[in-house]
Structure 1
Amino acid sequence: MTLSTQQRGRVFLVVALCLLTLCITASFSTHDWQRTVQISIGLCALLYGMSMATAHREQLLIDRPTSIGLVIILGLGLVSVGFAHQPLWALTEWALLITCGSIAVAFAVLRRNGDETLDRVLILFVLLLCLIKSLQYGHSAFLAFTRGASILDMDLLLSGFSNKRFYGQFQTFTLPLLALPLLLSTTSRTARGLVFVLLCAWWLIAISGGTRGTWLGMGAAAMVLVFLGPWGRRWLAWQVTALGCGLFFYWLLFSVLARHLGVEVSNFADERLTASLSNREVIWWQAWDMIRERPLSGFGPMHFADIANPVAAHPHQAILQWASEWGVPSALCVMVLALRASWATLMVVHQRAQTRVSADLLRLCLFAALIGALAQSMVDGVIVMPNSQLWLALVVGWLMALHPWQVPGRAIPSLYRAWTVLAALSVALLIFVACRDLPYTKERNQQYMDAGKTHLQPRFWVQGVIAHEGR
């Protein structure tokens, strides 16, 4: 039995969303698990894309200048791989970029071949994820206050991520999207009230996590959307109101109630709201030294992790990371493409700032999520962490699908075939790396800690340092 175009899309969407749910909500979710899920979704995206060859050729997702820019970036990436100290790891990072692109293309094709029903499915999925995480947080807080312990460690309230900053990255993507039902005229008053309560709870968790990158990302999104018409300002009003409620309940729970019960709160959020760089200056200087030493080719994709340092396996700064690993020319191409795409989306949002069409309001929220993620990537590893890479691919893919083309065009068949071959080879390489490494992750992590290291440094895996002993 041959599945129709819509049926194939539904199968891919259900599988991808189920895997994303397991990636975030499962109690056993770790960095390595999320990387495995990412590879699995990449395989699903590849199979879906191959089954939709005709649909790919009939629609334009990116224009010719963008296609040329991507070819240049991938070509420069291969040159950088050739100069890398460990070419296989460099090629793995190169393949990971293509796989993320395949996931974005799959979501774009899915939405292009569907209708606004898929938009509702996406938002319901976001609501469900945030509801589950909020319930997990509430359950942990309830146990912390009722078990009679004298100390409440707030970091233990955040589950599903190996680092609370990764939780904050997930919230940067989802906080803007949670406001969409509050903007839609079709949302009933009861549903609007429930969504607002969830948005308040989500802000409460963001506050308690204390991830400064989330504050930076949401602040950047707010500064842009305030100039994007009445709906942008209404989006901002809902966010500010929910933020105020979240702050109030945070104070009520962890100050008033904790003091009343005689519970001492550790890892308090305001202890992390400082202007310190948290040792980022160490890794930023390392990235800058790498750029000065090899400005053209870089040290190779993933090769910041090939030079051991006591802080991290990536610079926590997207531009420095790309320039130091892929080379300055490649970083400039990426920046030009990102700015060009952002500007094109900004113009569409601005032109349709007065409309109440649900697709336009969704574009507004997706654009806010993208701005927040890009801003946070300046101080955090948004382009490194597997879950954040998945959400970035989802947001970019959906924005690609919603973008209205002024001049109709068709995809170039030869370019699509080349992309399919590259995507297949990339997914195959990632599967090989996963099969090679996953059975020995515990032993490798323990050996790393036994060598006197104080903490794991995530990159591809949770122990992401690929430097050989003494390098």
Structure 2
Amino acid sequence: MDGREALGDGRADFWVVALLVGILASVGLLPLWPGSDLRAHDLQRLAQCVVLLLGAVVCGFACPSWSLRWTGLGFGAAALWSVAQSAHPVVAGQELVLWLGLCGLAVLASRCRAESLWVFVMRGLVLGAGAYALIVIALLAGALINAEPLHARSLCLGFDNPRFLNHCQTVLLPWLAWCTLRDPQRGWRVLAGMGAAVHVGLAILCLARATGVAWAVMLLVMLVAGQRQLAWRFVACVALGVACALLLFDLLPWLCGQRWATSFVSPTELGSDHSRGSLWQRAWQMFVNSPWHGVGPMHYAAEVKGKAAHPHNIYLQMLAELGGPAVLLGLAWVVRTLADGWRSLWASSLVAGQLVPAFAAVVAALVDGSFSGNFVMPLSQLLIAVSFGALLSGLAEASSPVARSTGRSAAWHFFAVALVASQGWLLIRAAEQVQRDPPRLRVESPQPLIDNTMRPRFWLNGWI
């Protein structure tokens, strides 16, 4: 089956694929943007809002009729109830609209069915990851040649916190490993392998614990599911990354007689929870105080307490902000999708098709989400949404490889109009908010003192 049979209308197909390629390339290339008056997180958030509006428009034209399950409708109703009960409904609505845009992006990604299309789409990811890796190597080489101080943070380009890069790497690596196997052109396979090695090396340099745990669980799941070809290629990429880290970050500095002036985190901090215990306890208390509708989307950031505007756990965050019913409905749909994916993985031991890397990437993201803010940051959100859409497309291809759309339902027209209108509103809101100094949700939003660290959520200054 070729791409035209998988997608249908050629002109619509072109825009779907082009947008997905651009989105994935931007994940690696946007942090390399040469200069901006905005901090990295705020620039990436604004770019994300533009991407989501473009995705909504393309989705409305290119996607087929589709039906939303009762769990999805129930989740939407519960989320709207939470918005209505929140202290700042407009801010809560802004968060909900952002998630709606990400869902639209996943629907758009699910439109691509043929593996050949996903190989092409993922070249955008390989291009971004490869360009990022080359710039990191060039910067390190320049510092070594000029005997400049070595700073770990300086190699995590375009991110206000190296952890935000690690969130992307969690989802990035399964796809790069797949590209080293499935891309028909050797040059792209080599670039994917190089990008994977450098990104693993950077994760090791930053002691990315949550990312490491996510990769380990993902590897175990893939082995148990019988997907050994991708699993062992993933192991090879990690091994190459370890060698890369030893060469670039240990051996070469030692040979040049240089030491790291600063590291991102000390190995002695590996056993620390970095205040996660108190963040999780606060989220749980919010849920206990308001178990049915929560405090409202984004409203974990409504009280300037603790060390973060989100609890570093997506499940506790949803419980606190949306309440129990919404979480149960949302998780029921996610678990069912993963169960369908697991059954499909068992049906074939081959790595062909996008279902295998998509399932691996989604599992890794869900594990990482137990310990980090990967579901909060703009670039990792885009990667997760596209990966989930790829999982849905793989499931659809496995169940009905020749199915084609026969028309659009009234429900689809309503969803498409609501999606475009909501993302347009979100971009207008973001364009207004980004003009504030610093960018923030409301004029009245608390601002950190000069010596205080920003606490990101929607913007880098994430407090409501």
Cα deviations by residue, 1:324-382 (Å, 9 ceiling, x for unpaired): 000011111111111111111111111122x36x32xx321111111111100001112
- CA distance in 1 between partners of 2:31 and 2:355 (Å): 24
- CA distance in 2 between partners of 1:295 and 1:429 (Å): 30
For residues 2-81 of structure 1, what are the structure 2 equivalents within 5 Å? Answer: 5-18=9-22, 20=24, 21=26, 22-28=29-35, 30-52=40-62, 56-57=64-65, 60=66, 67-81=69-83
Amino acid at match of 2:422: S
- CA distance in 1 between partners of 2:414 and 2:121 (Å): 30
1:262 paired residue among 257, 260, 265: 257
SS at match of 1:301: coil
Q: How many residues align?
A: 444
- CA distance in 1 between partners of 2:269 and 2:14 (Å): 43
Could you say which residue in structure 2 is the equivalent of 1:307? 303
8 Å Cα contact 1:98-1:422 kept in structure 2: no
Aligned residues: CA RMSD: 2.7
Provide the TM-score with structure 2 as the length reference: 0.88
- CA distance in 2 between partners of 1:152 and 1:365 (Å): 35
Report the alpha carbon displacement of residue 434 of structure 1 after superposing the two structures with TM: 1.1
Amino acid at match of 1:50: G
- CA distance in 2 between partners of 1:107 and 1:185 (Å): 19
Could you say which residue in structure 1 is the equivalent of 2:119? 120
Q: Alpha carbons of 1:307 and 1:41: their partners in 2 closer, same or farther (altered >3 Å)?
A: same
Amino acid at match of 1:224: V
Q: Alpha carbons of 1:82 and 1:191: their partners in 2 closer, same or farther (altered >3 Å)?
A: closer
Amino acid at match of 2:51: I
2:238 paired residue among 232, 239, 243: 243
- CA distance in 2 between partners of 1:249 and 1:406 (Å): 41
SS at match of 1:107: helix
Report the alpha carbon displacement of residue 456 of structure 1 after superposing the two structures with TM: 0.6
1:418 maps to 2:428: no
SS at match of 2:311: coil
Higher mean C-alpha displacement, 236-245 vs 389-398? 236-245
8 Å Cα contact 2:119-2:182 kept in structure 1: no
Could you say which residue in structure 1 is the equivalent of 2:360? 368
8 Å Cα contact 1:158-1:209 kept in structure 2: no
For residues 177-196 of structure 1, what are the structure 2 equivalents within 5 Å? Answer: 177-184=175-182, 186=184, 192=189, 195-196=192-193
Could you say which residue in structure 2 is the equivalent of 1:333? 329
- CA distance in 2 between partners of 1:179 and 1:201 (Å): 13
Q: Alpha carbons of 1:74 and 1:203: their partners in 2 closer, same or farther (altered >3 Å)?
A: same
4+ runs deviating over 4 angstroms: 185-188, 190-195, 405-412, 443-450
Amino acid at match of 1:326: L
- CA distance in 2 between partners of 1:195 and 1:51 (Å): 32
For residues 135-174 of structure 1, what are the structure 2 equivalents within 5 Å? Answer: 135-149=134-148, 151-174=149-172
SS at match of 2:150: strand
- Extract unaligned runs of 5+ from structure 2: 1-7
Report the alpha carbon displacement of residue 51 of structure 1 after superposing the two structures with TM: 2.0
Q: Alpha carbons of 1:272 and 1:392: their partners in 2 closer, same or farther (altered >3 Å)?
A: farther
- CA distance in 2 between partners of 1:191 and 1:421 (Å): 38
Could you say which residue in structure 2 is the equivalent of 1:226? 223
SS at match of 1:440: coil
Report the alpha carbon displacement of residue 448 of structure 1 after superposing the two structures with TM: 5.8
Amino acid at match of 2:161: N
Provide the TM-score with structure 1 as the length reference: 0.87
Report the alpha carbon displacement of residue 174 of structure 1 after superposing the two structures with TM: 1.2
Cα deviations by residue, 1:188-240 (Å, 9 ceiling, x for unpaired): 5x7655543443223212212322121011111101011122xx223222222
1:217 maps to 2:225: no
8 Å Cα contact 2:166-2:203 kept in structure 1: yes
Q: Alpha carbons of 1:206 and 1:27: their partners in 2 closer, same or farther (altered >3 Å)?
A: farther
- Extract unaligned runs of 5+ from structure 1: 467-471
Cα deviations by residue, 1:308-328 (Å, 9 ceiling, x for unpaired): 114110011011000000001
Could you say which residue in structure 1 is the equivalent of 2:4? none
Q: Alpha carbons of 1:450 and 1:286: their partners in 2 closer, same or farther (altered >3 Å)?
A: closer
Report the alpha carbon displacement of residue 256 of structure 1 after superposing the two structures with TM: 3.1
Q: What is the percentage of aligned positions where both structures have the same residue?
A: 24
Could you say which residue in structure 1 is the equivalent of 2:91? 89
Q: Alpha carbons of 1:133 and 1:191: their partners in 2 closer, same or farther (altered >3 Å)?
A: closer
Could you say which residue in structure 1 is the equivalent of 2:3? none
Report the alpha carbon displacement of residue 412 of structure 1 after superposing the two structures with TM: 7.4
- CA distance in 1 between partners of 2:301 and 2:264 (Å): 31
1:402 paired residue among 394, 399, 402: 394
- CA distance in 2 between partners of 1:402 and 1:443 (Å): 39
Q: Alpha carbons of 1:214 and 1:68: their partners in 2 closer, same or farther (altered >3 Å)?
A: same
SS at match of 1:179: helix
Report the alpha carbon displacement of residue 295 of structure 1 after superposing the two structures with TM: 0.6
- CA distance in 2 between partners of 1:46 and 1:253 (Å): 42
Report the alpha carbon displacement of residue 279 of structure 1 after superposing the two structures with TM: 0.9
Q: Alpha carbons of 1:225 and 1:138: their partners in 2 closer, same or farther (altered >3 Å)?
A: same
Higher mean C-alpha displacement, 447-456 vs 206-215? 447-456
- CA distance in 2 between partners of 1:239 and 1:43 (Å): 34
8 Å Cα contact 2:447-2:461 kept in structure 1: no
8 Å Cα contact 1:83-1:300 kept in structure 2: yes
SS at match of 1:382: coil
- CA distance in 2 between partners of 1:335 and 1:304 (Å): 20
Report the alpha carbon displacement of residue 176 of structure 1 after superposing the two structures with TM: 0.5
